[in-house]
Amino acid sequence: DMIAARATIAGEGDDVSGTVRIGAPDGFGVAFLAKRLGELTALHRELTIQLVPVPRSFSLSRREADIAITVERPTEGRLVAGKLVDYTLGLFASRAYAEANGLPATAAELGRHTLIGYVPDLIV
């Protein structure tokens, strides 16, 4: 409200301008955000958005990002945080793999399957 009041007094419009750096996990940034940011910048021609992958640790105070999308809620700093969505993971297999190897019926059976996943040391 304060910013809106100041803009009204100064005679400024509702134009959005400047640079905003958004930090997001690779998958979310590439699969979800990137294709939507063009629409936002088309509406606000003076707005520049920098989409950066968020590593395990980053600092909003050092301007590594202005907005950060993370899997876990931040525990340090004076930040405003809100939940965007529920997040779940799943296991997937190609039809050819499933036909050749079958599908596991229990978690214990996963050990006999070839899994492709994240680097364990980089998982938050």
The CATH number of 2-122 is: 3.40.190.290
Average pLDDT of adjacent 10-residue blocks, the chain of 124 residues = 68 75 85 88 89 71 76 76 81 94 92 80 55
Q: Are 69 and 22 in contact (CB under 8 A)?
A: yes
Per-residue pLDDT, 116: 84
> Could you state, in order of their start, the residue ranges of all structural domains in the chain?
2-122
Joined tokens for residue 67? 């907005």
Strand order in the sheet with 18-24: 47-53, 18-24, 67-68
Per-residue pLDDT, 57: 60
Q: What is the pTM of this model?
A: 0.62
Cα–Cα distance measured from residue 1 to residue 80, given in angstroms and rounded to the nearest whole number: 16
